[in-house]
Amino acid sequence: MQNPVRNHPGILITGLLITGLLIWGFWPQAVLVESAIVKRAPLTVTIEEEGRTRVIDRYVISAPINGMTCRMHLKVGDDVARGHELLGITPLESPVLDARSRAQAEAQVQAASAALLAAKEQARAAAASAQLAEDKYRRYGPLIEKGLVSQEVFDQAKTAALTAAASKRSADFAVKVAQYELQAAQTALSYSGADSKQTKALSLERVAITSPIDGKILKVSRECEGPVTVGESLLEVGDPTALEVEVDVLSPDAVKIKPGMKVLFDRWGGDEPLEGRVRRIEPVGFTKVSALGVEEQRVLVISDFVSPAEKWQRLGDGYRVEAKFILWHEDQVLQIPSSALFRYENGWAVFTIENGLAKRQMVTLGQRNGLTAQVLTGLSEKQIIINHPSDAVEDGVRIKIRP
């Protein structure tokens, strides 16, 4: 009997080929992975937030009186010296009275004049009564010594003299009050818009506004001539060479920041980062809505520049900077990428590469900065680990490092 395989060798070859393909197809393949090396390098833990510069001593100059300001010739950035006149304010003239109001003002003057005359007459009458009582009291003096009048009569005369003197003083004060009231009524009438020399002299009184410090103009609230009221902001001046940086950070991050902590200011426009020190963490927080619409509790952190002034003298008030608060730093730290870590049995683990196989290794971590993690135990320097391990990577799986 003939063997069909010998007569048809192609069948044998085809069968062997199919068997080999099946074995190759179901044979476990090596998983392509990215590798990283455990190394020692500097590690810095920071908090990064945006901030802005501001002048430390900022003075808001307000109008001390109601009046008219002149046209402002100063511009933002102009230099000013202490005591230098910035602008002037002319007091407002008294309003012009209509016929009825003027008649009332004239009547008030006449009434005040009559009241003054009445007060003077009362004062003369009080003076006469006081003189009479004083004369009577003096006449009783020698008589009581001789026993010609009783002590009671003498005491009554003395009391009458004192009472009359007090009435005279009161009448004199009433005369002065009437004089002041007449003067006030006459002033109101004379400064009522009439073309008098006193009114023109009053309108020419100009109040000069001077600079309290040597510095620059930071803000001009009014440039044109116009009326101003008491307390209205006119100018802001300050010294741009004395700058500080305010950074609003999340309240949990503010707890980690301490006064005296080092901070680096980057992306401010210069070639090198600027160095600073934290001066104050404000004890009051505020609510701020983030770009995603989430309400956040934030705290202002105030820092001073430590770098020489010539390096940051181009900065001004309100300039943007990026602040990096240095929470922790060491030069020689055993570290791995944070992307190599994964959670395992309530801890952290990584996959090491040994003889082409993935080996799971538990590790103990120290400081972390988001991209890098400090390894305290579990790994040694120059070990090769898997970075970004996928779900296909398991303990004991053959792996191949992606070129």
Q: pLDDT per residue over 153-163, tens digit each? A: 777 777 788 77
Tell me, rounded to whole angstroms, the distance of Cα 201 from its chain centroid: 44
Q: pLDDT per residue over 201-249, tens digit each? A: 444 567 788 888 888 888 888 777 788 888 888 888 888 888 999 999 9
pLDDT of residue 196: 46
For residue 398, give both structure tokens: 């053959």
**CATH code for 46-55+240-328?**
2.40.30.170
pLDDT of residue 53: 93
Summarize the confidence of residues 371-394 as an average pLDDT.
Answer: 92
pLDDT of residue 87: 83
pLDDT of residue 178: 77
Report yes or no: 374 and 43 within 8 Å, Cβ to Cβ.
Answer: yes
Phi-psi region of 73 (alpha: psi -120 to 50; beta: other; left: phi over 0): alpha
Amino acid occupying residue 208: A
**68 pLDDT higher than 60:** yes
Q: pLDDT per residue over 102-154, tens digit each? A: 777 778 888 888 888 888 888 888 888 888 888 887 887 787 777 777 877 77
Q: Which residues contact 17 (CB under 8 A, 6 or more apart)?
A: none
Q: How confident is the model at residue 194 (pLDDT cuts 50, 70, 90)?
A: very low
Q: Could you give phi then psi for residue 386, rounded to 5 degrees? A: -90, 130
Summarize the confidence of residues 73-95 as an average pLDDT.
Answer: 80
Average pLDDT, the chain: 83
Phi-psi region of 163 (alpha: psi -120 to 50; beta: other; left: phi over 0): alpha
Q: pLDDT per residue over 327-379, tens digit each? A: 999 999 999 999 999 999 889 999 999 988 999 999 999 999 889 999 999 99
Summarize the confidence of residues 63-90 as an average pLDDT.
Answer: 82
The runs of H, that is alpha helices, within 147-216 are 151-190, 197-203
Same CATH fold, 58-93+203-238 and 29-44+332-401? Answer: no
pLDDT of residue 219: 87
**199 pLDDT higher than 50:** no
**198 pLDDT higher than 60:** no
pLDDT of residue 107: 81
Statement: the pTM of the whole predicted model exceeds 0.85: no
Summarize the confidence of residues 309-315 as an average pLDDT.
Answer: 88
Q: How confident is the model at residue 299 (pLDDT cuts 50, 70, 90)?
A: very high
Q: Could you give phi then psi for residue 389, rounded to 5 degrees? A: -65, 135
pLDDT of residue 172: 80
**CATH code for 58-93+203-238?**
2.40.50.100
29-44+332-401 is a CATH 2.40.420.20 domain? yes
Stretch (H or E) spanning 274: strand 274-289
**182 pLDDT higher than 90:** no
Report the range of poorest mean pLDDT among 76-85, 180-189, 290-299: 180-189
Could you tell me the residue ranges of all domains in the chain? 29-44+332-401, 46-55+240-328, 58-93+203-238, 99-192
